[in-house]
Amino acid sequence: MEDSIFIYSIGFIAQIFFSARTILQWIKSEKAREIVSPASYWILSVAGSYLFFIYGWLRDDFAILLGQFISYYIYLWNLKLKGIWQKFILPLKLILVLTPVVASVLVIEENTDFINRFIFNEDIPFALLLFGSAGQIIFTFRFVYQWIYSVRRKESVLPLGFWIISLAGSSVIIAYGIFRSDPVLILGQSFGFVAYTRNLIIGIRAKRLKRSTDHPATIPQSKSKSIR
């Protein structure tokens, strides 16, 4: 029982970081009336991802591990683009960069135990594991999309497509969390679903406003002559 409380505590703390990044980004976007990508979003992402990776490991949940491993280094890349990574001290940089690598080496060395523990876990039916992994892949792909988009723009941006993919992946993860009776996934993703929807609305409105500003309506020729 105590182990379960400890494990869930790590998961909830990770979700607090994820929720905090979403809240701050949401508030800043509401004020700017357009989608923004603040440095705080990526700092909190790294903190949350680091803890959530630990949570997935303790829960023997391959779907969670897969999602965090893919997005983690994209968070660090965005921090570098924001000029934050350069301000970290060397020991912290080494810890952040090497932890997933060390974990991967340990997994390779104990590959049989890893397969039995995470892939053929009796507590998670294989079909459900595939479903959850698919949700995590979709959800994580939003950061791959964000990375590609930002590389082309040469700045850290959270485009409209990012929020569309977020909604798709979040829906699957919420369903997976319900099947797994995982309150961490359910609560974290339910809140995120609302924020993703709102960011999508803000982004669409900002895009329409920009379009109307760039291409203002012209007065028809006949009307302009009558005015004269």
Q: Is the dihedral of CA 39, 186, 55, 176 positive or negative?
A: negative
CA-based angle 9:14:18, to the nearest 5?
A: 145
**Nearest-angstrom CA–CA distance, 200 and 37:** 14
One-character DSSP codes across 57-79: HHTT-HHHHHHHHHHHHHHHHHH
Please tell me whether residue 155 adopts helix, strand or coil conformation.
Answer: coil
Please tell me whether residue 166 adopts helix, strand or coil conformation.
Answer: helix
CA-based angle 136:141:143, to the nearest 5?
A: 115
What DSSP state is assigned to residue 75?
A: H
Residue 1 confidence (pLDDT): 59
pLDDT tens across 135-144, in order?
888 988 999 9
Residue spans per domain, the chain: 2-209
**Nearest-angstrom CA–CA distance, 94 and 89:** 9
**Nearest-angstrom CA–CA distance, 78 and 2:** 37
Q: Per the structure block, which two tokens stand in for 183?
A: 């309150």
Query: pLDDT tens per residue, the chain (228 residues)?
Result: 567 888 889 988 998 998 899 999 999 999 999 999 999 999 999 999 999 888 888 877 776 777 787 789 999 999 999 999 999 999 999 999 988 787 767 666 666 666 666 666 666 777 888 888 888 889 889 999 999 999 999 899 999 999 999 999 999 999 988 988 888 888 888 888 999 999 999 999 998 988 888 766 554 554 444 444
| Amino acid letter, 152 | R
- Let me know: does 39 contact 84? Beta carbons within 8 Å: yes
